[in-house]
Structure 1
Amino acid sequence: MEAELEKLALIVSSYDIETLRKLGGVEGVASRLSVSLNKGVKTSDVSSRQNVYGSNKYTEKPFKRFWTFLWEALQDITLIILMVCAVVSISVGLATEGWPKGSYDGLGILLSIFLVVVVTAISDYRQSLQFRDLDKEKKKILIQVTRDGSRQKVPIYDLVVGDVVHLSIGDLVPADGIFISGYSLLIDQSSMSGESAPISIYEGRPFLLSGTKVQDGSAKMLVTTVGMKTEWGKLMERLVDGVEDETPLQVKLSGVATIIGKIGLAFALLTFMVLTVRFLVEKVLHHELMKWSSGDAMTLLNYFVTAVTIIVVAVPEGLPLAVTLSLAFAMKKLMDNKALVRHLSACETMGSATCICTDKTGTLTTNRMVVNKIWICEKTKKVETDAGGDAITLNISEKELALLLQAIFHNTVAEVVKDKGGKKSILGTPTESAILEYGLLLGGDIDKQRRGCKLLKVEPFNSEKKKMSVLIALPDGNNRAFCKGAAEIIIKMCDRFIDLNGEIVHLTENRTRNIMDVINEFTGEALRTLCLAYKDIEDGYENDSIPDSGYTLVAVIGIKDPVRPGVRNAVKTCLAAGITVRMVTGDNIKTAKAIAKECGILTADGLAIEGPEFRNKTPDEMRHIIPRIQVIARASPMDKLVLVNNLKGMFNEIVAVTGDGTNDAPALNEADIGFAMGIAGTEVAKESADIIVLDDNFRTIVNVAKWGRSVYINIQKFVQFQLTVCVVALMINFISACISGSAPFTAVQLLWVNLIMDTLGAIALATEPPHEELMNRPPVGREILRLEGSDATIVLNTFIFNTFVFCQVFNEINSRDMEKINVFRGICGSWIFLGVITSTVVFQVIIVEFLGTLASTTPLSWELWLLSVLIGAASLIVAVILKLIPIEHKNTKHHDGYNLLPNGPELV
């Protein structure tokens, strides 16, 4: 059996069509695998097939246990140095002071190190558990198969050799296999071969490889190889396990941590030098330089331990840790709220989003489509059901009803399936399912309709053509083509229609206008409109191709897709948060406008435009209209991509985009944050996205934005907390060492401070949930002061320099009076003071705006100039507050007349 499997795998991977033919083609392979191509695998055989042929899973990197994290936490070089010092301290202490007193200091250090290592390991281990759970969610992919003679959905990892898999546009091929049957199947093999051109799959080239993508068409395939034995599995085996790149915020904070660490190292060395020099000076003063004892050695060792511990405290490893903690916490909470974050950076970036380009169907609406109205034989009928749930008759002849049911049942990829209890359900897209369900409500029998006809050719629906066509052979030997799609597309293909009397008549301009009025009426009621048409073809039509003209219009169908509850409030929340919402949809512009108004997206001053008009605009015209665009109707995926590129390029927007189709992949990739729909989205769209919206709900996207902002706020809290503790701890130890010759904080105390401000601080502050007020603020900028581009660094440096100068200017003004609040009193009479201040400001303007080459500055915008002045002027308010603090005056007089404070003359 193993040899047989290897032979099949080799046939598929090497595209060996000759050997396949010798085996009897796909039927012969199915026979060897003991499976029926019509009925598929028996469910009862799945377990035994997994045992014999293997499971469809890939070897994963072993999960790290807690002890591994504990060991990694112990690898910190400074902790190792402290452990060595602790052991030496215990040895010296026991030799001089005996047990247990001599061991206190060393054991205290070891216990502190143990606590730091354990808490760090626990934190890292919990994070890894969260990421593992999220990774499992990413891999939950369902695929349609035929088992026990019926079509059903199963997890991709439950596939077995012999399964008959149904593929459609946007699917990832789940295993290696052989083409059974299908129509217009195009496969993107770039993930395997690197070739961008799609490959056509047919009986003469029937091989399909795992990991490739269905770009167009539909098909059934027989699975011949699964898991690590597939070509994709072999490739995965050779690849080194990758680690996700750091997010932009992690990179920035890692840089900050490095700088602060260097400062801490400098302070540690200075502290050690000061303590050591003072110690040596005291020995010289006491004439003991040549007399050394074990106590002296212990003193120097303690100085060294203190210096090393200062380095431990100073290195703010908690900064990147806080980002990871906050992102992991946000990702877990978002997972609970139906948003699967595939890339860490997306959660962070969403806090900066300024614009959301959203689909309509399924995202703003429920995606539970039903036929609401139908126009047929020049009559409009509202679809209603009787007590039994069947649709009320249309009052048309049997001939017209039969033609309508033919147009519904033959021209669809949706299927009616039965579960084990005999209950019927429909598998297919929401639109296809709605139309098929309507045909069943009319009393149609899909099996009976298809029994006597042969399907000759299928052109599946895609977002470019906006139509689906089929060609069938009727029982009488003639061929008939059916077409279904967007109203304006199908109307152009028709030259006849069925009138009130059931007669086929010419479609005049006047009649076309009447039909367009019906379509406009439907779209005005926020109904999605589709047209059904057919064309009889004489026997022997060339190449069995499907014509694109000469059709007879059968019906116009209006499908209702209600707006999701809460979407209007979610859009309102976005607008309050400074996030612009734009709807990009393939629907008719009237339907799009009606839905957009209902959602609160389209306002009185907003612009709704159609895709063809939008894409023909010049760059200059784009620059003027894009800020006003709120709706793009009849949009193609390329229109969405153009919109995203222009929003980012022309207006420096941070853009989030939703998508569900394969053709949405470029826009999802190009956007700052790509959202794929978890229910309606194809696997290709999900692979291209940063976040998968599991419930296809716009409110979930708004929730992601809120959590993204929360990440930034939590990091700001932690940075403020840690830097304050770090600076104070460093300065106290250093200044005390300089003044008193000893460090007030011992190594044990400093290690405890480090534990508080790093790991525990990160856990406490980086995991706070968001509050509603976050969505009442403008978006968080990705760059400091929202400076981006190649000149961002010099602009930032110039701004810092400019602000510093203005701080000094206002500090001069504050210093005019040490007691009075009004520092401007008498300023007009002090011409020298005014001259100096004015000259300083004038020269500062010249330096910043005109002496860039000499002074390494760049001209600033008026907003940055104003901000510099305001920051500097803030010192005026600080001075007022300080002067309002009451101070007790002493009556003791010094001989020269100054009032004395306990430590010197009072200067306030």
Structure 2
Amino acid sequence: MWFSKSIEDVLKEINVDALSGLSDEEAKVRLKKYGANQLLTKKKKNIFQLFVAQLQEWLIYVLLAAVVITLIMGEYVDATIIILVIITNAVLGVIQEVKAGKAIEALQKMSFPKALVRRNGEVKEVNSHEVVPGDILILDAGRFISADIRLIESANLQIEESALTGESVSADKDAKQVYSDLKTPLGDRINMAFMSTLVTSGRGAGVVVETGMNTEVGKIANIINSEKKEKTPLEIRLDKLGKSLGLFAIGICVLIFVIAIIQGRDLAEMFILSVSLAVAAIPEGLAAIVAVVLSIGVTGMSKRKAVIKKLPAVETLGSVNIICSDKTGTLTQNKMTVKTYFNLEGEIVVERNSKNSATDDAKLLAKAMILNSDATYENSKGTGDPTEIALLLLGDDLGIDRKKLNTQASRASELSFDSDRKLMSTLYQENKEFTVYTKGAIGNLIKISTRVLEKGQVIPITKEHKKRYLDAAEIMSDNALRTLGVGYKPVDSVIEGAEMEKDLILVGLVGMIDPPRPEVKESIQKAKLAGITTIMITGDHKNTAFAIARELGMADSIDQSITGEALDDLSEKELAEKITQYRVFARVSPEHKVKIVHALKSHGNIVSMTGDGVNDAPSLNAADIGVAMGITGTDVAKGASDMILMDDNFATIVSAIEQGRNIYSNIKKAVVFLLTCNLGEVIAMFVTLMMGLAAPLIATQLLWINLITDSFPAIALGMDPGTPDVMKEKPRDAKESFFAGGAGFHIILGGMLIGALTILAFWYGYYEHGFSPFDKSAPVNTVEYARTMAFMVLVLCQMFFSLAVRNSSKSIFQIGIFTNKYLVGAIVLGVLLQLMVIMVPFMQRAFHLQMLDLRGWLIAISLGLVPLFVNEIIKIFIRVRANRIRHTNEKI
């Protein structure tokens, strides 16, 4: 652990002289030994491999088997259609997959091309991938660090590490510091600097101790590489459904063929019929329909500023019940803001443009903060330390003209900040008068103050004054505010060094914080009402994190917070047992975040992780849904995520979850519709064959019905408008099958009803011509007429039934018949195609159909409407029962 060793020990162990650095020859030797200073990536799959991977699902296997069988049967058109369905599904999947898995590539781009190193006693610029352990890196403001280093020099050095630690404030660095505790968190190692972080101010130098994959960023890359991405709930459900339908189809084939042998039917004809029925039993369009519905969902979400990288992620959003969110930049604005200030007039909450109400003492406090700063802020853009930028904005709020002030005052001397004094002082000349301004830790400032400012008067400081200031600072700290005090003193001439920080006049102190985003609190409450728990996971300090969480309504007690250090003391089993107790995880490392996500998932939770930094990438990858910030997010976070928020708005996540729930609901409607219709076909065929009757439908008719009902109505159901009621429900259980919530019962009931109506229509076709279905002497025309009746009724039942499945409890009149224009269009198109098959002579002969008479049409339409009417009646009972339960609960 390099941070636990002195500078001398590190230089000795790594065998380098700090003044001369490595020689060029030694650098070449070490480059060969340790390898290039760059991040490694997994071997990428080519397009063909990605395409093949899309085919490795049970439902696809069944469809491929159906292709082989239909080709053997000579049904080339149907085989072609199924092949097109398979290819379309695979292509859609590949298009989404090629956009994902770029996390490591993004990490490589963060290895910046140039670095300043000391070699052969001279400072020279080299490519960052040529930096080796032992190189002496030179640091200055604005330079990215190209490797992990142990600092050997530091002067007012501050480094922006939020991408790694999650802290919005630049970290102060001190090369002299040595840590005995080997568990010191990453963000507290002030004697170290890390690859891909940015120097914001000061200067320094350090010896390279780790390069490439051994750096902290490299460890993150390793975690991403080793993290196995699990299948989404939708992928698991479709896989199980494919297996079940495959076994069902095989069973149907075997059973009908056995019946045919027993009954002495024509085996060749029955083989073709049984295979056709098996193909009809499988909704081969399901995979493509799901892909189309998800693609439509992706397009809709992109309009709402949520970009989905992988289609199944849309559905997974609908079952999310925990959102793990990074604090900095996600829940907060990622910019320090002065919230309050204190002087002997009391504590005052800062209001924007409060210049008219600010007292002279307050304006002096702001003036001192402005002059004692190296930051700039013009045209809504700032440079320098975020804390100092916040102090400049405080001056603007209190009516200080910074341009005029900087023109009138000139800096004559300064004493830079260091971690021992925790103070910074500047000497300014204004109109031949000299004034020292000092800012820093209030405890240290009080020790060197002999006077205090009260209502414009300078008076000797007393114990009571000191107590008031220290109490005010403690209250601010308890509210997670970072405190900073300021003092001044007039002097007769230029002074330097320690003389600047004696006998000061204490003016006041400020409390600042990285404030929450204004829209986040409402979004968290919406999520809570939808049964979704929001958890904060951050690298920031515990008190700061908890204060933000409490303000946002995420946590009520400090006991709901835990630090990364405390997590290390818990075993994997203990963490899994206690994980539900916590709402805030503070001071955590990337490894901690992954452990937290895994512990939450061990309880069966569907976890979403939001974040924007490099440190979020592993947990984004480990979560069921990784959500990256599009504006402030690093390329690494975007590459590891499943979804990117283009507006960085937490509220967009809630909107995406709502749409994800509606999309799953639509997919379920399509599944219920397809299985009900296919079950109706199977029942009609199976029952009539068991009774020894002629088959009510022939192979070509079955395949035609399968073609028009497995496409347009099913896709139209997938495009059904969402319902706001979906966010009043609890998150769906990830293990819930498509048949949960009464869906299985409705499929069986609907299938039996459609099957029975088809058999009744088949019987009526015989009856209308004076024959019985059991009469073997019935002419061919009568059999074809009866099959036409069954054919027409079966299609009409399925078309009208599609209206009934739009909502499990609401009437079609409540949701509106025309609110889904696509479905209405699909029904009209399906009926027109059906009429074309019956009325066009060529099609009529090809499908062995007869034109129906007026009575036949009336009976067919009447029977076709029955499933819709029956479902509407059942919904009435469902609504009555639901109202009774609601009234009972209200009384309780």
The TM-score with structure 2 as length reference comes to 0.52
CA deviations over 1:610-665 (Å, ceiling 9, x no partner) = 4699899xx9xx99x99999x97x96659x98998999699987666656678888
In the superposition, relative to structure 1, how do residues 879 and 649 fare at CA in structure 2: closer, same or farther (>3 Å)?
closer
Query: In 2, distance between residues paired with 1:651 and 1:233?
Result: 30
Contact 1:188 1:197 in 2 (8 A): no
In the superposition, relative to structure 1, how do residues 222 and 523 fare at CA in structure 2: closer, same or farther (>3 Å)?
closer
Residue number in structure 2 paired with 1:710 = 662
Query: In 1, distance between residues paired with 2:608 and 2:54?
Result: 39
- What is the one-letter code of the residue matched to 1:722? L
In the superposition, relative to structure 1, how do residues 175 and 424 fare at CA in structure 2: closer, same or farther (>3 Å)?
farther
Describe how 1:427-506 pairs up with structure 2 within 5 A.
427=383, 433-438=389-394, 442-443=402-403, 483=440, 495=447, 499-500=452-453
In the superposition, relative to structure 1, how do residues 721 and 377 fare at CA in structure 2: closer, same or farther (>3 Å)?
same
In the superposition, relative to structure 1, how do residues 568 and 663 fare at CA in structure 2: closer, same or farther (>3 Å)?
closer
Residue number in structure 2 paired with 1:245 = 230
Query: In 1, distance between residues paired with 2:97 and 2:240?
Result: 25
1:266, CA displacement in angstroms? 0.9
In the superposition, relative to structure 1, how do residues 574 and 426 fare at CA in structure 2: closer, same or farther (>3 Å)?
same
- 1:404 corresponds, among 369, 378, 381, to 369
Residue number in structure 2 paired with 1:425 = 381
Contact 2:370 2:391 in 1 (8 A): no
Say whether 1:730 aligns with 2:682.
yes
Query: In 2, distance between residues paired with 1:219 and 1:759?
Result: 67
Aligned residues: 657
Residue number in structure 1 paired with 2:727 = 775
Residue number in structure 1 paired with 2:830 = none
Query: In 2, distance between residues paired with 1:71 and 1:644?
Result: 33
Contact 1:686 1:692 in 2 (8 A): yes
Contact 1:257 1:319 in 2 (8 A): no
CA deviations over 1:724-743 (Å, ceiling 9, x no partner) = 12322222333343445654
- 2:530 corresponds, among 570, 573, 577, to 577
Residue number in structure 2 paired with 1:839 = none
Residue number in structure 2 paired with 1:267 = 252
Query: In 1, distance between residues paired with 2:185 and 2:547?
Result: 36
Say whether 1:531 aligns with 2:531.
no
Query: In 2, distance between residues paired with 1:514 and 1:63?
Result: 66
Describe how 1:868-907 pairs up with structure 2 within 5 A.
none
- 2:305 corresponds, among 320, 326, 338, to 338
CA deviations over 1:579-621 (Å, ceiling 9, x no partner) = 4667899799999889977x7x49xxxx8434699899xx9xx
**Bigger shift: 773-782 or 737-746?**
737-746
In the superposition, relative to structure 1, how do residues 675 and 777 fare at CA in structure 2: closer, same or farther (>3 Å)?
same
Residue number in structure 2 paired with 1:609 = 557
Query: In 2, distance between residues paired with 1:739 and 1:471?
Result: 97
- What is the one-letter code of the residue matched to 2:274? A
Query: In 2, distance between residues paired with 1:745 and 1:429?
Result: 78
In the superposition, relative to structure 1, how do residues 330 and 17 fare at CA in structure 2: closer, same or farther (>3 Å)?
farther
Structure 2 residues not aligned, in runs of 5+: 1-12, 29-36, 117-126, 132-136, 165-181, 429-435, 490-494, 750-869, 877-892
Contact 1:356 1:657 in 2 (8 A): yes
In the superposition, relative to structure 1, how do residues 575 and 750 fare at CA in structure 2: closer, same or farther (>3 Å)?
same
Query: In 1, distance between residues paired with 2:620 and 2:444?
Result: 32
Residue number in structure 1 paired with 2:275 = 308
Query: In 1, distance between residues paired with 2:678 and 2:369?
Result: 77
1:250, CA displacement in angstroms? 2.3
In the superposition, relative to structure 1, how do residues 432 and 702 fare at CA in structure 2: closer, same or farther (>3 Å)?
farther
Contact 2:598 2:622 in 1 (8 A): no
Query: In 1, distance between residues paired with 2:54 and 2:310?
Result: 26
Describe how 1:270-309 pairs up with structure 2 within 5 A.
270-278=255-263, 281=264, 300-309=267-276
Query: In 1, distance between residues paired with 2:216 and 2:595?
Result: 38
Contact 1:358 1:583 in 2 (8 A): yes
Contact 1:313 1:751 in 2 (8 A): yes
Contact 2:325 2:536 in 1 (8 A): yes
**Bigger shift: 54-63 or 350-359?**
54-63
Other structure's SS at 1:245 match: coil
In the superposition, relative to structure 1, how do residues 174 and 588 fare at CA in structure 2: closer, same or farther (>3 Å)?
closer
Describe how 1:126-165 pairs up with structure 2 within 5 A.
126-133=92-99
- What is the one-letter code of the residue matched to 1:719? V
Other structure's SS at 2:318 match: helix
In the superposition, relative to structure 1, how do residues 309 and 469 fare at CA in structure 2: closer, same or farther (>3 Å)?
farther
Contact 2:286 2:671 in 1 (8 A): yes
Other structure's SS at 1:260 match: helix
CA deviations over 1:431-470 (Å, ceiling 9, x no partner) = 5642355569634769x999976868679xxxxxxxx968
Query: In 1, distance between residues paired with 2:636 and 2:153?
Result: 22
CA deviations over 1:485-513 (Å, ceiling 9, x no partner) = xxxxx659954656207879667355433
In the superposition, relative to structure 1, how do residues 767 and 88 fare at CA in structure 2: closer, same or farther (>3 Å)?
closer
Query: In 2, distance between residues paired with 1:721 and 1:57?
Result: 45
Other structure's SS at 2:648 match: coil
In the superposition, relative to structure 1, how do residues 658 and 166 fare at CA in structure 2: closer, same or farther (>3 Å)?
farther
Structure 1 residues not aligned, in runs of 5+: 1-14, 31-52, 90-105, 150-158, 190-194, 283-298, 410-414, 460-467, 485-489, 542-546, 788-795, 808-877, 885-908
Residue number in structure 1 paired with 2:509 = 556
Describe how 1:47-196 pairs up with structure 2 within 5 A.
60-63=44-47, 106=74, 109-133=75-99
1:268, CA displacement in angstroms? 0.8
Say whether 1:256 aligns with 2:255.
no
Residue number in structure 2 paired with 1:508 = 463
Residue number in structure 2 paired with 1:892 = none
1:710, CA displacement in angstroms? 2.0
CA deviations over 1:123-180 (Å, ceiling 9, x no partner) = 432343244446679977896979999xxxxxxxxx99799999999x9988999999
Query: In 1, distance between residues paired with 2:871 and 2:653?
Result: 45
Contact 1:669 1:688 in 2 (8 A): yes
Query: In 1, distance between residues paired with 2:97 and 2:72?
Result: 41
Query: In 2, distance between residues paired with 1:328 and 1:651?
Result: 31
In the superposition, relative to structure 1, how do residues 504 and 311 fare at CA in structure 2: closer, same or farther (>3 Å)?
farther
In the superposition, relative to structure 1, how do residues 529 and 577 fare at CA in structure 2: closer, same or farther (>3 Å)?
same
1:720, CA displacement in angstroms? 1.0
In the superposition, relative to structure 1, how do residues 527 and 26 fare at CA in structure 2: closer, same or farther (>3 Å)?
farther
CA deviations over 1:318-372 (Å, ceiling 9, x no partner) = 6666666555554554444334557877654543445657677755665566546
Other structure's SS at 1:530 match: strand
Contact 1:364 1:564 in 2 (8 A): yes
- What is the one-letter code of the residue matched to 1:508? K
Query: In 2, distance between residues paired with 1:763 and 1:695?
Result: 30
Other structure's SS at 2:468 match: helix
Contact 1:714 1:768 in 2 (8 A): yes
- What is the one-letter code of the residue matched to 2:304? N
In the superposition, relative to structure 1, how do residues 161 and 368 fare at CA in structure 2: closer, same or farther (>3 Å)?
same
Describe how 1:787-826 pairs up with structure 2 within 5 A.
none
Other structure's SS at 1:499 match: strand
- What is the one-letter code of the residue matched to 2:82? V
- What is the one-letter code of the residue matched to 1:434? A
1:262, CA displacement in angstroms? 0.9
In the superposition, relative to structure 1, how do residues 168 and 85 fare at CA in structure 2: closer, same or farther (>3 Å)?
farther
**Bigger shift: 269-278 or 574-583?**
574-583
Percent identity over the alignment is 25
